[in-house]
Every structure is written in structure tokens, then in C-alpha cells.
Amino acid sequence: MKLVKNAAGRLVPEKINGVKQVPFKGIGKYKPKGVKAKPSIRTCADYPENGNKIVKSLREALKKAGLKDGMTISTHHHLRNGDTLTNYLFDTIKSMGVKNIRWYPSASFPCHQHLIKYLDDGTIHHIEGSMNGPLGRYTSQGKMKGMGVLRSHGGRYQALQDGDVHVDIAVIAAPTADPFGNATGDRGPSACGLLGFALGDSEYADKVIAVTDNLVAFPCIPWQIQGNNVDYVVEIDSLGDPSKIVSGTTQVTKSPDRLLIAEYVAQFLEDSGIMKDGFSFQAGAGGTNLAFALYLKERMIKKGIKARFIRGGSTKYLVEMLEEGLTDYILDGQTFDLEGVRSMRENANHVNTSPFTSYNYHGKGNFASILDATVLGATEVDINFNANVVTHSDGYLLHGIGGWQNCLFGKCTILAIPSFRDRIPVIVDEVTTLVGPGDLIDVVITERGIAINPRRKDLLKAVKGSSLPIKPIKQIYDEVIELCGGVPAKPKVNKNKVVAAIKWVDGTVLDSVFQVEE
């Protein structure tokens, strides 16, 4: 395996699964040439005139779609850890004797541990997509036949759009669908909110199968996925476990340290002047993030400030802000709890978005860079503000990139993180895996201090005189290292064996994940 050094100084594979790659060239430096992927032209003459595309089983649909060895099959992760469809899909593929599938999920979850046997027996050749938990560990152990590829949500859309990845068959879990293939995620027993992660698949895959456990008469409204892009519709008993698809409730952190971080983030937005009428921010569903939103809300009410829009991962906390008039809109990428799903279904100002609108770097702009502030997490940040979200300091690949890389393009990117976890420093000298270049990370907020990237002189100036504990990142690093009893050992990895590649938002290769030596 030949490795080359890219513009970030990281060693990356020249080829991934036999295909030549472009190494990362720097932010905004790689200019794509060429044209978008070219789906085949279809004709209505080949589809049922009455619009009824129902076939009797998933097996039948896969057969009609021409499933064969070596194909690329895509799925989406809106059902999260409640997804039973994907496991059923690969059970079916296995039973059909088909081998060497490239699986292109938008993410995988612990529930997909079921698929390890299919990675072992060659049904699945390799995974391109976030590998959260067990599949990530399996990959880190060097057991996967091909090389994994991790992309951001935007990067996944970009790869479909640009033809970097051609999907033969997309399988879309549709909480509600009609016989024509129009589908929505905002209602039905397996409601997950929206289906944006499957949009690119529906547009660019050769064959698209919508699988539903809630078939309604045409038209399924809203049509988050358009039946005009769907080939077959399959009805099954259940897509998954609703309690694991969305939470009944989302929980704010109770940890005093995390609450402090959340309070700092809110204060930072106020003191820096970012929190002003018509501003926008992104907040996720982690415990710290939820707490931040609540603290910010208090400050907004106190100052009489209204946001123009909030980007979710929506939760009941964001929904309350919308309903209480603290924001005009929620622009939502995925709903995390039942209140988020309800709001999206009922409130026209709770808008569903997609990786195309929000994150695709190979578009005519996207929403991510318009945000005034984005608040994100990380597994590691180094003293040059480079950050990691996919591996732990022991080298194991345990998380996906999600929209994280895409959100780095916001006007003020804040990592809200504890300075250490389980006595392991989160602020490090050099990240195990580079997922976000330091040039795009503006502020690191920990329980023991706030570091502003020296490049952001404007922010340093804006918070001058604030009571916030602003320090150089090196100072926080030194404190943490002392507290944790010294610099931890580097992970033992095999530098000759790349198990997964980290793509940048433009499709270039940013870093490598190496096999962990156990």
C-alpha cells in the first residue's frame, strides 16, 4: 500500500480499493473539473401506468433490480439504532447467495453488529460510511476485506453527485410511503422525522427500492423522497424499533463540568456579540449541546433577542424556542426526539433540509457557511486546533464524521469539549486522526478555559474584557497533561495497514486510520 503525504502533512493512501485518489490539497484548494454523475434516462413506458410499483417482497425487489456480486448497495441511518431493515436487507442478500457487496450507508450503528458475520463471510466486502461502535472496532482490527471510507454527510452527497461512488441499488427505509414511491419520515409507526440522508441516493442510484411499514394511498404528503425517483415499493411489517429511532425525551447533561462548558459557550456567544437579533446557530443533541441551548435561550430572553434560524438535530428544546418565538425557523437535518418529529410534521417553520442544501461542498454554496455559530464536539483537539471526531486516543475507530466537517465552515466554529475524559486528555499535542483542519476551528471551550484560534484576531478582540477564562490552548494543554499524569502513550498501530480513509468535504483524502495492534 503506497502512502503519500498530503497538504496537511498526513500520510494517505494513493489508492483506495484500487481507485486512484486525490490527496487533500488545502481548504478550498482542490477545484473539481468535469461533470456530475450521469443517471440513465428512464421512460414511463417501463413503469406501471397506474403508478403502483409495489412488489411482494424485498427479495423480489432486489431480484428485479438486478442484484449481483460486487454491487454497491446504499442505506440511510434515519432509523438510527432502531434500524432492523438494514439487517433484514443483508439477511436477504445473504440468502440470495450474493457476495462482495460494497455497503454505502450514511452511517452504521451498534444495532448493525449483526452484519459482522456478513463481513466475515464475504457477503459484504467493505463499508463506505460512518462506522459507529462495533463495526468501527472490527475495522480497526484490520478484519474488513476492503478499506473503509469515511465521509461527512456533505461528502457523501458530493461523492454521489460527482460520480465518485456509483450506487447500484438504494434501499430507503420509508416510515410512510405510497405505491408510487413518494415517501416521508415525519409520520407512521417508525417515524424518524425526515429522510434527507437518502436524497442523494434517490437521485443518483440506478435502482431505488422504498421499503415501508406504513403504506398510504397516493399521494403520500409530504414527499420528502419523490416517487419519480423510485423503482419499487415493498411493504414489510416493521422497519425497526421506534423507541430507538427517536427518543421519547432527550436529556440535558447533569455533569457539573459539562454544564460549565455549556454556560461558557452561551456566554461566549453573548460576550463576542454573535448573539444578536437575526443571528443563527447550530446545536446538536448531545447533553452539553442541549444545556448550551437552554443557557443561550435564557440570555436571548433576557436581552430580547430573536434568532433568524437554528440548525438542528432538533429536540424538544429547539422546538420550544421555535414555538416561543425565539427563532423564525428551525432548519433541521435530523430529528432526535418525538417533539422534533411532531414539530416537523405540524409546523411549516420547522423545515426539513438535506445534505444537498446544507452541506454539499460541490454545490453553488451551501447553508453551513451561512451560520453565525456552530457548536460541535470532538474526541481530540490538538494545540494547533486540529480536531478528531472518529478515533479515540487508543486508535480505535468508533465514530462517524456526520455533518461535523461540513459545520466547520460556519462563521464561528466552537468545539465544546471536556479537557479530558476518563483521565485521558482530549487536548493533545497531535490528533490521532485529522478530521478537521485547525484553520477552520475558531474556539475551543473546555471546563478549564477557553482557547481562541490566534487566526481569529476579531474574536480575540471582541471578547476583550469578558469575564470568560480565555487562555492560549497550549496553557490548557499543559494543565491537562499535568492533571492526567503526563502525555499518554500513542496508540500502537500498523503504519503499513490503512483500514479506513478519511475524506475531506471535497472528496480528497485527508487522513488515514491505521490498524490497531492488539
Beta strands in 278-429 (DSSP E): 280-282, 307-314, 327-335, 350-352, 373-376, 380-382, 387-388, 413-416, 420-421, 424-425, 427-428
**Contact stretch for its own copies (CB under 8 A) within 66-74, 349-357, 415-423, 431-439:** 349-357
**Contact stretch for its own copies (CB under 8 A) within 1-9, 125-133, 220-228, 510-518:** 220-228
Distances from the Cα of 140 to the Cα of 92, 381, 390, angstroms: 27, 21, 11
State phi, psi for 43 to the nearest 5 degrees. Answer: -140, 140
Contact in structure between 232 and 88 (CB atoms under 8 Å):
no
Question: Which residue's CB is nearer to its own copies, number 148 or number 196?
Answer: 196
CA separation for the pair 208, 138 (Å, rounded): 29
Of 18, 13, 10, which Cα lies nearest the Cα of 2?
Answer: 13
Residue 425 binds its own copies, judged by CB under 8 A: no
| Three-state SS at 266 | helix
Residue 325 binds its own copies, judged by CB under 8 A: no
Contact in structure between 149 and 105 (CB atoms under 8 Å):
no
Residue 24 binds its own copies, judged by CB under 8 A: no
**Contact stretch for its own copies (CB under 8 A) within 25-33, 188-196, 266-274, 478-486:** 25-33
Residue from 356, 420, 504, 514 binding its own copies (CB under 8 A):
356
Residue from 53, 297, 392, 448 binding its own copies (CB under 8 A):
53
Cα angle 270-449-374, degrees, rounded to a multiple of 5: 45
Residue from 128, 231, 382, 479 binding its own copies (CB under 8 A):
231
Phi-psi region of 20 (alpha: psi -120 to 50; beta: other; left: phi over 0): beta
> In this structure, what C-alpha cell is assigned to residue 213?
411499514
Q: Which amino acid is at 431?
A: V
Judged by CB under 8 A, the number of residues near its own copies is 64
Residue 323 binds its own copies, judged by CB under 8 A: no
For residue 186, list its beta bridge partners: none
- Which residue is it, cell 451551501? 366
Residue from 349, 472, 474, 495 binding its own copies (CB under 8 A):
349
Q: How far is the CB of 277 from its own copies (least distance, A)?
A: 11
Question: Which residue's CB is nearer to its own copies, number 2 or number 33?
Answer: 33
Residue 392 binds its own copies, judged by CB under 8 A: no
**Binding residues for its own copies restricted to 234-273, rule: CB under 8 A:** none
**Contact stretch for its own copies (CB under 8 A) within 58-66, 74-82, 217-225, 380-388:** 217-225
Q: How far is the CB of 500 from its own copies (least distance, A)?
A: 25
Q: Which amino acid is at 94?
A: K
Question: Which residue's CB is nearer to its own copies, number 348 or number 489?
Answer: 348
Contact in structure between 391 and 398 (CB atoms under 8 Å):
yes
In terms of Cβ atoms closer than 10 Å to its own Cβ (0-12, 13-18, 19+), residue 347 is middle
Question: Which residue's CB is nearer to its own copies, number 19 or number 489?
Answer: 19
CA separation for the pair 197, 106 (Å, rounded): 7
Question: Which residue's CB is nearer to its own copies, number 328 or number 478?
Answer: 328
Residue 348 binds its own copies, judged by CB under 8 A: yes
Query: Which residues are near its own copies by CB under 8 A?
Result: 28-36, 38-51, 53, 161-162, 180-181, 208, 217-219, 221-223, 226-231, 278, 308-309, 329, 331, 348-349, 351, 356-357, 360-367, 369-370, 409, 411, 506
